[in-house]
Amino acid sequence: MEKIQHTNVQVRELKLHVAEIGSGPKVVLFFHGFPEIWYTWRHQMVAVANKGYRAIAFDHRGYGLSEQPAEPEKATLLDLVDDAVALLDSLGIDKLSYYVCVRTWFTENALLENTTASPLSQDHGSFLLAVYKNSKFNLDYLYQAFIVGKDFGALSAYRVGVLHPERVSAIITLGTPFIQPGPSVVQNHPLPEGFYISRWQGRAEADFGRFDVKTVIRNIYILFSKSEIPIAAADQEIMDLIDPATPLPPWFSEEDLSVYASLYEKSGFCFALQVPYRKLKVDRSLIDPKVSAPSLLIVGEKDYSLKMPGVNNYIRTGAMKHLVPDLDVKFIEEGTHFMHEQFPEQVNQLIIAFLGKHGA
């Protein structure tokens, strides 16, 4: 997509691949899931950029064109959270538009009251400093961005909201609710042994490793686009659930598959299979987590993850509001696990409406 610009940005100890389109003070940061990369957000990036937002999507560490960490086996979801915050810093997002926040808090007359040292007569940096020193308001709003996450990217997005609430204007997630780490209404129910996440302690890695990257991505898109949880028999591998003759979903082209495959050639699936799912059981860093930011959860009615034990009831009964009080939930009737690629216009409309509602 020719309008999307690409750079490599130093983020902590690694260089991350960053895709970006649009400009201006209102930033939307996209977190991908597995087996995705920045490209999964191509439709949403263009849509929000056309509405005046600066859209940024990046390949998580170890994914796509981003660098691999030295010790992937030690990585956790919190590394992805720290990466996201450091990326905002590296891109200068901490200097978000003072036009937006100041106009929200101050009238023109109030700014002009002190005519001997009017902040409007000074340069931008001095202007902000003058406003800060002469006001009782906290300018943490300058550090905020909208965050959109899917799959494990949603888990990271929620954690940014919990650990760095001052950096977040609002959170939008696709398909994945915020579930408190440890025993819960959802996690008390064990997943079947034949589900791929349950085999993420060695067997899944070996299974995926039998095939080239393109075949693995093809199989995953076919398998996870169904409404039922893909479960293999005890003597069967996950990748063998797919007939090689099965066509791709109609909304995912051979060209899309080739793009994914080419971008995954560098990274492979070594790190992708370490984080996030292999580390979920040891993520106990959040104590009484609450997401204070306005949040939107978009759910596909045909997403197989709704069939995971406890998830459907957890979402529909409003139990998630205990952790995310300011939560809105929207459903897409025929939406699958990849609804943002399957029905981009519907997803884009929901995202843009929510951004408009909670933007400055």
What is the full per-residue pLDDT of the chain (360 aa) written as tens digits?
559 999 999 999 999 999 999 998 899 999 999 889 999 999 999 999 999 999 999 999 999 999 988 887 777 888 899 999 999 999 988 633 332 333 333 333 333 344 444 444 444 444 444 444 444 334 444 446 999 999 999 999 999 999 999 899 999 999 999 987 655 544 555 677 787 777 766 788 788 889 999 999 999 999 999 999 989 998 999 999 999 999 999 999 999 999 999 998 877 777 776 665 655 554 555 667 899 999 999 999 999 999 988 899 999 999 999 999 999 999 999 999 999 999 999 999 999 999 999 975
N- to C-terminal Cα distance for the chain? 29
263-312 pLDDT tens trace: 988 777 777 766 656 555 545 556 678 999 999 999 999 999 999 888 99
Q: What would be the CATH architecture of the domain defined by 5-96+144-358? A: 3-Layer(aba) Sandwich (3.40)
Of 173, 237, 226, 232, nearest to 204 by C-alpha is 237
Contact 77, 283 (CB under 8 A): yes
Q: Average per-residue pLDDT in the chain?
A: 82
Where in the chain are all domains bearing CATH 3.40.50.1820?
Answer: 5-96+144-358
146-202 pLDDT tens trace: 999 999 999 999 999 999 998 999 999 999 999 876 555 445 556 777 877 777 667
Identify the burial level of 139 via C-beta atoms within 10 angstroms of its C-beta, where 0-12 means exposed, 13-18 middle and 19 or more buried: middle
pLDDT of residue 267: 79
Task: Kindly give, in sequence order, each residue whose CB lies less than 8 Å from that of residue 73, ignoring residues fewer than 6 positions away.
Answer: 274
